[in-house]
Structure 1
Amino acid sequence: MKMFNFKQIATASLLTLGLMTVGTGVSFAQSQDLTIDGDHGKLAAVLQTPDKAKEYPLVIVCHGFTSNKDTNLMQTLANDLEKKGIATLRFDFNGHGKSEGRFQDMTVLNEIEDAKKVYDYATKLPHVTSISLAGHSQGGVVASMTAGILGTEKVKSLALMAPAAVLREDAIRGDCQGARYNANNVPETIPIKKGLTLGRNYVLTAQTLPIYETAIRYQGPAFMIHGTGDVIVPYTYSQRYQRIYFNGQLKLVPGEDHGFTHDTKGACQAVANYFAAQLKK
């Protein structure tokens, strides 16, 4: 990895430095709030590292559509990875959470650019021995495509949680999680859940998005986990990921929903166990 760039950290906003108890022991995780330059403005991020570790692998964590880095799923995953000696860098995509930009201007393509910029930032951090990617829902699509763009040599391993590759077919059908529109004459704005407004460019780029064609360019270790009760993204989309990855594994969770709300801990532990097995080799 490259040596630490002190000029870059000087531009980061180290808003807090927290200590979090791990298990019943006396070790602590260090958590730093950062600001990273993204594709549509500044990205809010959190770097969580194992305390007193001289070096460690790092996983960049990508949240899903309309979500953010601070959900229970994202924080649980970061905590479980930290307990295994793995650092995480999770962030809000443009137009989400505490990051800059308008949600209306967000597309999968500019989220990929965000992820690439976060990856570049991570390469300049001290003590990092390797970088892996993880993502939930649309963040899973972004993680898979980013891994394909960066290549197998740059991404140590990959984990996708209910990756929303259905988003291309949804855009072609004119459906965004129940919000319907004319896919052949896409309006400038589309009101969706949570009082948010989707932009026309999101749909137009999604309709021709080369998801699997890009993802297949990565052929390192890959893990998919998906609930069979997911009505937002059918688990067949993870099965297709498994077919394109020579070194891919798939875990189907009976009855689990898209957000892994029935057993969040179990899903995150499965991902953490996978990374631990791959990154400690």
Structure 2
Amino acid sequence: MRKIFLFMAAIISAFAISAQTQTIVIQGPNGKLMADLSVPSLNTNEKKTVAILMHGFGSNRHRPLLRAIYDKLSECGIGAIRFDFDGCGDSDGEFVDMTVPKEIADAKAVYEYVRDLPWVSDIYLIGHSQGGVVASMLAGELDKDAVKGVALLAPAAVLREDAIRGNTQGAKYDPITPPEYVELPSGIKIGRDYIVTAQTLPIYDAALQYQGPVLMLHGTSDIIVPYTYSLRYNDIYQNGSLRLIKGVDHSFNGYEKEAADIVANFFINTVNDYVL
């Protein structure tokens, strides 16, 4: 048994050493998007799967959860790219100008960049929180065979209802006539366009257009996005797999490695056996 463990550890170590990370710039529809791309070791004419990782509301590509997933996929020989949405992290733009449709457009630009890499075969989408909404809607928008599998971690479909009732992350406003911008308790600001577009966002209608394999991973102690939103996602997906994790919060704090293992195992053991 110990020999098997050491053999598997050696394989993982080899992947980790051979994978190369590049910091790249992708031209998005609203400016330059900064990204980190992990390129697995490739033999001549070999093609690899790549996962596109999308961070949550007001976050960035360096968050512990995304880093853990990125590193785990790289260890498993799966290419990965994590990027900052427009107005976030190191990318161009101002966060106050952010809307979900703009983030979908950013993600589509990253998808097109990855799709055109000569060594890429299949593409996965992974999104946390608002990034989960973006990933689910983009998968539904793209062609039937464009995405091999999707993983949604605490997908924040609550954002539409928040905008309708005029309460986003504890900041209250008039939802009928929203102000030019709203300052949230965290100090960041959202613009009127974010609120107005969120109120009519067809989250589930767009998402259900994708019927490939989908993992929904959600903590039962998430007070920002209740896990019931993943339950609803699970209802619309014919090939959905729901994992509820007792006691875990919205950011998967302290559970990043375990979440990364679940995501990697889902793609390796479930998605790769699925025929589009």
Asked if these proteins are the same fold (TM beyond 0.5), I'd say yes
Residue 182 of structure 1: aligned partner: 174
Residue 57 of structure 1: aligned partner: 49
Residue 86 of structure 1: aligned partner: 78
Q: Does 1:210 align with 2:202?
A: yes
Residue 247 of structure 1: aligned partner: 239
Cα distance in 2, alignment partners of residues 23 and 132 from structure 1: 20
Query: What are the superposed Cα offsets for residues 186-231 of structure 1, whole Å, 9 maximum, x if unpaired?
Result: 0001112443211000000000100000000000010000000000
Cα distance in 2, alignment partners of residues 146 and 256 from structure 1: 27
- Deviation of residue 45 (structure 1)? 0.7
1:47 to 24, 37, 40: 37
Which residues in structure 2 correspond to 1:25-36 (within 5 Å)? 25=14, 27-36=17-26
Equivalent residues of 2:213, 2:271 under 8 A apart: no
Q: Does 1:113 align with 2:73?
A: no
Cα distance in 2, alignment partners of residues 51 and 192 from structure 1: 44
- Deviation of residue 280 (structure 1)? 3.9
- CA shift in 2, pair 1:210/1:79, >3 Å: same
Q: Which range moves more in the overlay, 269-278 or 57-66? A: 269-278
- Deviation of residue 40 (structure 1)? 1.4
Cα distance in 1, alignment partners of residues 47 and 213 from structure 2: 21
Query: What are the superposed Cα offsets for residues 110-159 of structure 1, whole Å, 9 maximum, x if unpaired?
Result: 00000111111111112111111010000000000000000331111000
- Deviation of residue 262 (structure 1)? 3.0
Equivalent residues of 1:39, 1:94 under 8 A apart: no
- Deviation of residue 278 (structure 1)? 3.7
- CA shift in 2, pair 1:136/1:207, >3 Å: same
Cα distance in 1, alignment partners of residues 186 and 84 from structure 2: 17
Which residues in structure 2 correspond to 1:1-281 (within 5 Å)? 24-25=13-14, 27-52=17-42, 54-281=46-273
Query: What are the superposed Cα offsets for residues 59-110 of structure 1, whole Å, 9 maximum, x if unpaired?
Result: 1111000100111111110011111111111110000000001101100000
- CA shift in 2, pair 1:185/1:22, >3 Å: farther
- Deviation of residue 279 (structure 1)? 4.8
RMSD value, Cα: 1.6
- Deviation of residue 51 (structure 1)? 2.6
Amino acid corresponding to residue 38 of structure 1 in structure 2: G
Cα distance in 2, alignment partners of residues 121 and 81 from structure 1: 19
- CA shift in 2, pair 1:80/1:58, >3 Å: same
- CA shift in 2, pair 1:193/1:124, >3 Å: farther
Give the total of aligned pairs: 261
Q: Name the % identity.
A: 50
Equivalent residues of 1:22, 1:28 under 8 A apart: no
Cα distance in 1, alignment partners of residues 270 and 92 from structure 2: 34
Amino acid corresponding to residue 205 of structure 1 in structure 2: T
Equivalent residues of 2:150, 2:213 under 8 A apart: yes
Equivalent residues of 2:19, 2:77 under 8 A apart: no
Amino acid corresponding to residue 48 of structure 1 in structure 2: S
- Deviation of residue 263 (structure 1)? 1.1
Residue 7 of structure 1: aligned partner: none
Amino acid corresponding to residue 250 of structure 2 in structure 1: H
Amino acid corresponding to residue 135 of structure 1 in structure 2: G
- Deviation of residue 175 (structure 1)? 1.1
